[in-house]
Structures are given as C-alpha cells and as structure tokens.
Amino acid sequence: MIALAAAGIGAAAWFLRPGGTGRGTSPPVAPALRTGAETIEEAVRLLGERKFPEARVRLLRALESSPGDGVLNLLAGRCLRAMAYFESSLPYWKAAYGRLPEAREECALALGVALFRMGRAAQAFPWLEKAFQDPVLEGGRRLALAECCLELERYEESLKILEGAPAGGGVSWIRHRALSFLDRLEEARREVESLPEDNPEHRLLRAILETSLARERGDFEAAGRSLEAALGQAPGGTSDWARLKRSEIALRIEAGEVEALEKTAQELAGSPEGHAAGVALWGQALARLLAGRREEARESAGTFLARTDPEFTPLRMERLMMLHLAGRIGDDALEAEIEALSRTWQNDLLYYLALSRGGDRDLAERALRATPGRNFPYHAIRRLLR
C-alpha cells in the first residue's frame, strides 16, 4: 500500500527518539477538506518534513468524515507518536490494528510502547510478548519487551531477552538497571565500562549510568564528581547538557540538597527543550516543598502547567504531581493513577504525596514499600522516615 511505504518513517527509531518538544505549539489553521488520497499524500509529505502539528490537523480533519479509514488512523498514530503524545495516539493505533492486517505488528509495537511510556507496563506486556515476522519491528519489540519486563520486576527475563545484543543505547541501560536491581553491582559496573568512550552518545550514557550507580548506593559525592566531569565536556544549553542536568535534579533530590536543587532547577529552566524545562520547574516545586515553602511551590506548579504541553507523555508523572499541587485534581484522582502504575512509577507519586503533606510517615512507608531496590527516590523517601 502506497501510504504505508511512502511515509519513509523507520518505526523502531521513533520509539527511541520521539520528536516531541514538551512545549505547547499553536495549532495551524485547518486546511480545506481534501479527498482521502490527497490527505494521505499531504500527510506523508508533512511527516517526512517533520511538520507534525500541521500533519495532525490534516489527518484529524479527514478522520472526522472517515473515522474508519485504516491508513488515516495509522498515519495519525505515527504523527502523535513522533510528537511523544503517546497517550493521545492510543485510539488511532487501536483503530489501525483492527483495520489494517498488514500493519498489525507496527500497531501492536506502538500500542505496547505507548502504554509502557504511560507507566502501564502490565497493560503493555500482552502487545509485546509475541514475536513479529518483520525483522526490524522484531528488534524494536525485543528491546521494548526487555524494558517492559524491567518495569514488571522480571529482571532475569529482561536480561535473557537481550542476550547477545551489542552494548550501547537502550540495551546497556536496561542491562545496567536489571543487574542493579538484582544486586549484581559488579556486573552492572562492567556493563557501564563496556561502553566505548570514543562514541559521544555512549560517553554520555556512561556518565549517566555511573552517576546512577553512585547515587543509588548513597555515595552522593562520587555521583556529583561523575556529573561534574561529564558537564565539563557538554557545552551549556546543548541537549547533552540538558540530559546531564536532569540527572543532577534527581541527585539533588536524593541527597536532600535543597539549595543546590533549586539552583540546578533555575539553570535548567531556561533550556529550549520543553522536556528539560518541565523537569526543571518540577524540580523547583519539589525544592520549595522540601524547604517548607508551600505557596511558592504552588506557584512553581502553576508555571509548570502554563508552560508545558499537556499531551507530552514524557512529563506525564510530573504533570500529575503539579496538577495535584495546584489543586486541579484531588487525592482520589492521584490514588487512582497510583493503582494503575507499576511500582517503579508508583513510588514517585507516593513520595510526592508524602512530601506534599509535610512528610506524612504512612505515605512515606507506602512509597518505600513500592520502591524496587534503591530506585529513585529511595534515599529521599528514607530521609522522610528519619
């Protein structure tokens, strides 16, 4: 089918590097309604040019009159995935799965990844557990399934899925996390050291994983040194710098360094990347809660909600916290979300709830019980229980 082949989008690549920014965008003016073939051709062109908001408007307008069109739904799913609007993409992938037998593997993989990115690992697993015929999609499925197993605390299974896979990228990250949770720390360290330093992407990942290892064992000074050395090689304002600063936000929270946390958040808040700026505003709100400045924390929550894109899934957990802090959702809504999440995500929301209630001990104990190993924010939770 021409629409499937002409899109020119490598499916697996989008799962690893979504094109969304995390900042809201002004929707383009809706075009005049075209025929289905014209819309598909135009959407394919716009997707190839990475003009995702424009493509979205055209596709959704066409779907108003042809909601059962499998190709339009498939392209809408691809478009929203590229914007990292994983939650919004779900109905389109489901519709395409039911109407396009030739695209079912792509749709199944996309549905599994979308649910996983929302923290719904148990719901994602059935879409990912069966092997695919397409070799490219099968590679993406195995990587996604290994990460899903990691979230479900099936660590040995996660490692088995990745047996024989070359080091680097998501493979090394998943292996490192699984080995850490299994308390096989020497093997986790060797996994980090296997990343070649002459590759810039591997060098960045190595720094992040070294920082994570040190942070989880409570050696905040070593974690800080690792980050400082990596930041010395990353020009300020670049995407590498922003990723390292996001790691620094986590480190400052775990170490209980409130002033340093607020300073790091302030530095990162000016990032042109919406994801990084959102993490910064979330970090600023937590710093102010930790300092007992609740009204200022609420102001930070309001700023976060005003400046970030509500559909951008990578900030979904932070957004739930900020909606609650700003008084826009209540305890019941947050508890319902906690119930639906895997433990790796539950502990973040429970820690926030405990902190928002002035260090509520019962909630902090729930957060600790929901924490696999020493996963973030283990040390911050322990601090609330002292």
Residues 19 and 136 in one domain: yes
In a domain, 295, yes or no: no
Q: Is 312 exposed, middle or buried (0-12, 13-18, 19+ CB in 10 A)?
A: buried
Residue 32: per-residue pLDDT: 39
Q: Which of 227-241, 286-300, 311-325 comes out lowest in average pLDDT?
A: 227-241
Residues 131 and 168 in one domain: no
- Boundary (domain end) residue, out of 216, 233, 250: 233
What is the total count of domains within the chain?
2
Task: Give the mean pLDDT of 93-110.
Answer: 97
Sequence-separated (6 or more) residues with CB below 8 Å from residue 267: 245, 280
Residue 166 Ramachandran class (φ > 0 left, ψ -120 to 50 alpha, else beta): beta
Q: Is 69 exposed, middle or buried (0-12, 13-18, 19+ CB in 10 A)?
A: buried
Asked whether the predicted pLDDT for residue 1 surpasses 50, the reply is: no
Residue 4: per-residue pLDDT: 35
Q: What is the CATH number of the domain that holds 23?
A: 1.25.40.10
Residues 2 and 141 in one domain: yes
In a domain, 226, yes or no: yes
How much of the chain, in percent, has pLDDT values that exceed 90?
A: 81
Residue 246: per-residue pLDDT: 95
Task: Give the mean pLDDT of 318-324.
Answer: 98
- Boundary (domain end) residue, out of 103, 120, 146: 146
In a domain, 103, yes or no: yes
Task: Give the mean pLDDT of 209-222.
Answer: 94
- Boundary (domain end) residue, out of 233, 266, 293: 233
Count of C-beta atoms within a 10 Å radius of residue 154:
18
**Encoding tokens for residue 128?**
């990912």
pTM of the full structure: 0.88
Asked whether the predicted pLDDT for residue 31 surpasses 70, the reply is: no
Q: Which of 14-23, 66-75, 183-192 comes out lowest in average pLDDT?
A: 14-23
Residues 51 and 128 in one domain: yes
Residues 201 and 116 in one domain: no
Phi/psi at 218 (nearest 5 deg)? 85, 10
In a domain, 262, yes or no: no
Task: Give the mean pLDDT of 356-378.
Answer: 95
Asked whether the predicted pLDDT for residue 98 surpasses 80, the reply is: yes
Q: How confident is the model at residue 23 (pLDDT cuts 50, 70, 90)?
A: low
In a domain, 99, yes or no: yes
Residues 6 and 88 in one domain: yes
Model pLDDT for residues 236-267, shown as the tens digit of each residue: 889 999 999 999 999 999 999 999 999 999 99
In a domain, 209, yes or no: yes
Residue 218: which domain range? 153-233
